[in-house]
Amino acid sequence: MGKILVFIQHDQGRILKGSLVALTAARQLAAAWHCEGLVAVTLGPGAQVAANEASSYGFSTVRFSEAALFERYRAEPYSRAIALASKELGADCIVALASSTGKDCLPRVSVLLDAVQASEVVAVNSDGTLKRPMYAGNILADVQLAAGNRVVTIRGTAFAPATKEEGGSCEVQELHLAGDPELYEQPRFGEIVSYEQSKADRPELSDAAVVISGGRALGSAENFEKVIFPFADALGAAIGASRAAVDSGYAPNDWQVGQTGKVVAPSLYIAVGISGAIQHLAGMKDSKVIVAINKDPAAPIFEVADYGLVADLFVVVPELTVAIKNAKGA
Amino acid sequence: MKILVAVKRVPDWQLKLKLLADGSGIQTDGVKWILNTFDEIAVEEAIRLKEKGVASEIVLVSIGPADMRARLEYALAMGADSAILVKHDGPVDSDLASRVIAEVFKRGSYGMILMGKQAIDSDSNQTAQLVAARLNLAQACFASKVVIEGPNALVTREIDGGLETIKIPMPCVVSTDLRLNEPRYAALPNLMKAKKKPFEELSLEALGVSPQLKLEVRRLSLPPVRKAGRKVADVAELISVLQNEAKVF
């Protein structure tokens, strides 16, 4: 096998933790598939800073581009640039984080390179197959990718983030965009009209260290806000919800944790008033520590919870909120 | 404008799945098949675009065995106009699905391809993007709002950290996220009428598409079962175990 190209995502030059997770997976792939080494590409404003930072992570070369057409992420130019970098650097495998960006543009890269893609990989098996969740994580599949070019996206919670390697930094060079004239057919790509950032005062649900989720037992949107919000804020947690709570209008759709919503794997997941339907368990059962608070001792959520508290949530959650504030303050 | 909606059937997510003893697949005997949740949202969106007078005709396409017909008839009963079933009994990966959809697209004059962002069985989240790239069309994935404005589609996308609205020229490919709409139920009389709507069966051969797969599922296994922990007596004990045993804060 040739080289592995890692697509590194960054925020104004700061490499995303998830891209370092993808790098760990790429190192394991390089060993399992006997690849010739790792190279990287990074795009957009701050890409040069990110490339310099990446240069001490064991790559043989890093390419970057801060060209205007990468100013905001768009699928077409990004996928073309990644494919271009892989051809220029002799890579036959592309690895990236399965972020919304990775999910959106990597399949396009795989068409440009006539490759096969495995999505959301969670482990590299010693026989060269890859482990990935199906049916919202209810089943794990070992998949074999056909020979030829390969694209692999990595679940951001499945590997430890890579650390720097000894031996200093590698060469960092600007990506030559002239190799793909179609990159400049911008009207075809469309344009970004607006961007609305979620309220940033709480962590993002998909990569928060602590998630507090509320269920139908909350009874109303007002109760959800009154009970769950302060509890989450005391812990610096992201807020999730069961499908039942979302369907009842207690919480917005993008907070839904479960098979048809978001899959999360935080260090601590606290399920408040959630009975634990299969579809919800599928979205959170990989969390490190699970706590369930429910007044029904027979609720299925207790079958997966490390710690269960059988109690009226309206009594104990406010108590917990105060106790946590005190414990943290101490 | 004609809209092509690609749909797939999946096992009902409300039922527990069982693996075959050798791990080669899931037990399909007695499985209740439903339209993939996200594809159902795509069908609904196409119907709403037609109700607004923006779309003129909704064509469904699917690849699968003959009994996929029942799921397509359900989508026809929701309000789609006609269906194309590309009959294939073997396994289908995202690559094969995308080649089939791209080929069917070329045979009509469609303004948009709509489909779910992922199928809730394989969870690959690739097909819409693959189709767009194959046809060199603009894409808008993970849509939570779709508005047609002249020759362009204005699509709001659910991305990490927020919502982004993009304007892309049509024809284009749009993949649907959960928030886009709430699909209607197909009424019983419509289910009867749906059987009379145009239904075309095609083969891979007729489309000139090879059944060759690129991703082979070797083995399926169940994830390690989490063992139930223990019940704590009160808030004080919960705080104590979180601090001292779990060390989470």
In terms of CA atoms, which chain A residue is nearest residue B214?
A: A146
Contact yes or no for A302 and B220 at CB 8 A? no
pLDDT per position as a tens digit, B110-144: 999 999 999 999 999 999 999 999 999 999 999 99
For chain A, where are the E strands, in sequence order?
Answer: 3-7, 10-11, 14-15, 38-43, 61-65, 91-97, 116-121, 123-124, 130-134, 139-145, 150-154, 171-174, 191-197, 210-214, 238-241, 268-272, 289-294, 307-310
pLDDT interval class at A81 (50, 70, 90): very high
pLDDT per position as a tens digit, A103-115: 999 999 999 999 9
Residues counted in chain A: 330
Write down the pLDDT at residue A262. 84
**pLDDT of B92 strictly over 80:** yes
Distances (CA, A) of B64 to B69, B82, B114, B130: 9, 17, 18, 19
Distance from CA of B223 to the nearest CA of A (A): 6
For B110, the enclosing helix (H) or strand (E) is strand B110-116
List the structure tokens of B85.
Answer: 């079933």
**pLDDT of A199 strictly over 70:** no
Contact yes or no for A193 and B165 at CB 8 A? yes
**Distance from C-alpha of A242 to C-alpha of A99, rounded to nearest angstrom:** 22
Indicate the pTM of the whole model. Answer: 0.92
Write down the pLDDT at residue A28. 98
CB distance B74 to B35 below 8 Å: yes
For residue B186, give the nearest of B8, B61, B35 by alpha carbon.
B35
Contact yes or no for A193 and B37 at CB 8 A? no
pLDDT interval class at A260 (50, 70, 90): confident
CB distance A56 to A164 below 8 Å: yes
List, in sequence order, every residue forming a beta bridge with B139; answer none if it has no partner: B173
Q: Find the helix packing angle between A75-89 and A100-112, rounded to 10°.
A: 60
**Distance from C-alpha of A57 to C-alpha of A42, rounded to nearest angstrom:** 14
CB distance A292 to A276 below 8 Å: yes
**Measured between CB atoms, does A322 come within 8 Å of chain B?**
no
**Nearest CB to B13: which of A279, A291, A302?**
A279
Write down the pLDDT at residue A187. 72
Write down the pLDDT at residue A111. 98
Write down the pLDDT at residue B49. 98
Write down the pLDDT at residue A15. 96
**Distance from C-alpha of B60 to C-alpha of B85, rounded to nearest angstrom:** 8
**pLDDT of A185 strictly over 80:** no
A260-263: long-range contacts (C-beta < 8 A, 24 or more apart)? A260/A136, A260/B13, A260/B37, A260/B38, A260/B120, A260/B178, A261/B178, A262/A205, A262/A206, A263/A133, A263/A136, A263/A137, A263/A206
Cα torsion at B128, B133, B135, B139 (round to 10°)?
A: 60
Mean pLDDT of A281-296: 93
Interface test with A, best of B24, B27, B125 (most A CBs within 10 A): B125
pLDDT interval class at A138 (50, 70, 90): confident
pLDDT interval class at A253 (50, 70, 90): confident
Contacts of B140 in chain A (CB under 8 A): 190
User: Residues of chain A with pLDDT > 90: what percent?
Assistant: 78
| Backbone phi and psi for residue B208, each to the nearest 5 degrees, phi listed first | 75, 30
Task: Give the list of residues 6+ apart from residue A84 with CB closer than 8 angstroms, or none.
Answer: A175, A176, A177, A179, A180, A183
| Backbone phi and psi for residue A199, each to the nearest 5 degrees, phi listed first | -55, 115
In terms of CA atoms, which chain A residue is nearest residue B120?
A: A135
Write down the pLDDT at residue B217. 95
CA B235 to chain centre: 43
Distance from CA of B160 to the nearest CA of A (A): 6
pLDDT per position as a tens digit, A21-75: 999 999 999 999 999 999 999 999 999 999 999 999 999 999 999 999 999 999 9
Q: Which residues of chain A from 153 to 212 reach within 8 Å of chain B, CB to CB?
A: 187-198, 200, 204, 206, 210
CB distance A291 to B238 below 8 Å: yes
Write down the pLDDT at residue A166. 84
Write down the pLDDT at residue A330. 61
User: Residues of chain B with pLDDT > 70: what percent?
Assistant: 100
Mean pLDDT of B161-187: 93
Residue B16: Cβ-neighbour burial (10 angstroms; 0-12, 13-18, 19+): exposed
In terms of CA atoms, which chain A residue is nearest residue B168?
A: A190
**Distance from C-alpha of A274 to C-alpha of A215, rounded to nearest angstrom:** 4
Contact yes or no for B160 and A100 at CB 8 A? yes
**Distance from C-alpha of B130 to C-alpha of A287, rounded to nearest angstrom:** 32
**Distance from C-alpha of A141 to C-alpha of B219, rounded to nearest angstrom:** 6
CB distance B229 to A306 below 8 Å: yes
Beta strands B152-159 and B162-169 are antiparallel
Write down the pLDDT at residue A200. 63
For A146-228, where are the E strands, in sequence order?
Answer: 150-154, 171-174, 191-197, 210-214
The dihedral through the CA atoms of A48, A52, A57, A58 has a sign that is positive
**Distance from C-alpha of B38 to C-alpha of A278, rounded to nearest angstrom:** 18
Q: Across chain A, what does the average pLDDT equal? A: 93
Write down the pLDDT at residue B247. 79
Write down the pLDDT at residue A19. 97
Write down the pLDDT at residue A156. 86
Residue A230: Cβ-neighbour burial (10 angstroms; 0-12, 13-18, 19+): middle
Q: Across chain B, what does the average pLDDT equal? A: 95
pLDDT interval class at B29 (50, 70, 90): confident
Residue of A133 and A197 predicted with greater confidence: A133
Mean pLDDT of B206-214: 97
Distances (CA, A) of A69 to A15, A87, A201, B80, B170: 20, 20, 30, 38, 21
**Distance from C-alpha of B149 to C-alpha of A65, rounded to nearest angstrom:** 33
Write down the pLDDT at residue A189. 82
CA angle A20, A26, A29 (to 5 degrees): 155
The dihedral through the CA atoms of A81, A82, A87, A90 has a sign that is positive
**pLDDT of A127 strictly over 90:** yes
Task: Give the list of residues 6+ apart from residue B21 with CB closer than 8 angstroms, or none.
Answer: none
User: Residues of chain A with pLDDT > 70: what percent?
Assistant: 99
**Nearest CB to B134: which of A111, A146, A304?**
A111
